[in-house]
Structure 1
Amino acid sequence: MSRSAALSSFIDSTPPGELADVTKAIKSILGDDSVQNELSPAFEKYNEDQLATVKLPGGSGEVVVSAHNALGDGRYYDVESQSSFAFDHATQKASGVQSYVLESNHSDLVKSLVKSLGTHASEHYPKASLGVYPIEDDSQIAIHTVANKYSPSNYWNGRWRSSYIYNPSSGSIAGTIKVDVHYYEDGNVRLITDKKVDLKVGGSANASEVVRQIANAEKKYQEDLNKAFGSLSEGAFKQLRRQLPVTRQKVEWDKISGYRLGQDIGGGRSR
């Protein structure tokens, strides 16, 4: 594997919200700040795959960066704000905002989908960004929702991504829901899971019906995840070890060498 390929693999596997940290670590290890230029293609692929979000200068909410709303030369567009912008993939900052008018035979449907999807997102996610874009020579519509929640001070970050391709002619909706959560306090635990979704609406379905089907699929997946976590907590995790020692006190792992396992931890008496 070449150096560029190896470095790109590090970027590709970066947990949500930690791109700047990983880039800083790579620079520190190599002792070379110029490596950032070498990583430019990896940054672009990562941001588009992860549906990176960015706040536009003067804007209130965050907009989505994806392969489906790319205009070329590092510029992207957003339907809701009717603007295009330049995006720096290394710093994840936006600039050069300009007015942008969507030209599509499905303009009305796209705008209706943005409105309906916005209502759904505000009801089910604490903070979410969304994007709806005509693709494939205006024959299909890409629908994205991304919800990030970062808490680096508590050593965890997470991202929900859902992406669908809607074909207005056939009424088919195909996509994937992805969840990526990283917890790294005194350890390194990461959950990466995805769910493929195939839905069907009538050929004349309106935006509300399309989003209703998407909302039902996402609700069911969230319920399935909650059940799976409950089963782990009550089953497999309990079988691994006690949640607390018999003394009901947390083990001070820094002092583990000084414990008399059968007595201090197990609660037994000294002989």
Structure 2
Amino acid sequence: TRPASEAEVGMGGQDSETLPFTLADMRAAANQMCKDHYPLGAVEVFAQGGEYHIVCASGVAKPAAFWTGNFTARYRVFQSQAGVVIDGKMGGVSHFYEKGNVSAELDQPIASEIDLEGSTADKVFERINLMEVDYFSRVEECLETLQQGPYKKVRRYLPVSGHKLEWNQYSLGGMRINE
């Protein structure tokens, strides 16, 4: 699928009239961040009403480990009286499907501010990166807690033989179960 055009999402491609960096600067910094941190992801920056809107998405699938996960983030960058405000929401879904289905969805609202003087698109994305690193470290702590507690208890109710069931060995009334 192709990304929606700016006209389709209703956001213009004009530079912010209030922020000291251009849409092109924001897109270049966003693309660099995506390349560095989300090689399988996509990012786009839109301008509307003196603000920049950033959308980032990435996913990973590891079938051998019975796991999939995705990350999405939406940020808004605008000028306040004191500086440049970055707010929005980031979140992810992690799905484990070995011997059952367990998924976790974690969303986090975020807000931060950087000094207006000397602010650049690169500094905006440096701050976004710091917020994402903090988010991911908290997600890892949360998943570790879940793995040692609730996930471990759920797995106790699932088959614990450690052997795959060979369906070809069993029959009901002369019919093979897998037929």
State TM-score, norm by structure 1: 0.49
Contact 2:99 2:158 in 1 (8 A): no
Q: Partner of 2:141 in structure 1?
A: 227
1:179 matched to 2:92? The reply is: yes
Of 162, 169, 173, the match for 1:250: 162
Amino acid at match of 2:78: N
1:206 matched to 2:120? The reply is: yes
Amino acid at match of 1:71: A
Structure 1 residues 1-271: aligned runs within 5 Å: 54-55=1-2, 64-65=3-4, 70-72=6-8, 102-105=13-16, 109-135=22-48, 137=49, 139-150=50-61, 157-170=68-81, 171-184=84-97, 187-204=100-117, 205-240=119-154, 241=156, 250-252=162-164
Unaligned runs of 5+ in 2: 171-179
Distance 1:172 1:242 in 2: 48
Distance 1:208 1:112 in 2: 8
Q: Which has the higher strand share?
A: 2
Could you give the per-residue CA deviations for residues 145-170 of structure 1, whole angstroms, max 9, x where no partner exists?
11133568987543211111110344
Are the structure 2 counterparts of residues 105 and 124 from structure 1 closer, same or farther at C-alpha, using a change threshold of 3 Å?
A: closer
Offset, 1:120? 1.6
Distance 1:120 1:215 in 2: 8
Unaligned runs of 5+ in 1: 1-53, 56-63, 78-100, 259-271
Offset, 1:203? 2.1
Offset, 1:226? 1.1
Distance 2:39 2:14 in 1: 32
Offset, 1:143? 1.1
State TM-score, norm by structure 2: 0.71
Higher RCO, Cα 8 Å, sep 6+: 2
Q: Secondary structure at the match of 2:22?
A: helix
Q: Partner of 1:87 in structure 2?
A: none
Offset, 1:111? 1.1
Offset, 1:243? 9.7
Are the structure 2 counterparts of residues 104 and 119 from structure 1 closer, same or farther at C-alpha, using a change threshold of 3 Å?
A: closer
Q: Partner of 2:173 in structure 1?
A: none
Q: When the two structures are aligned, how many residues end up with a matched partner?
A: 162
CA RMSD between the two structures = 3.5
Q: Which has the higher helix share?
A: 1
Offset, 1:236? 3.5
Distance 1:234 1:196 in 2: 26
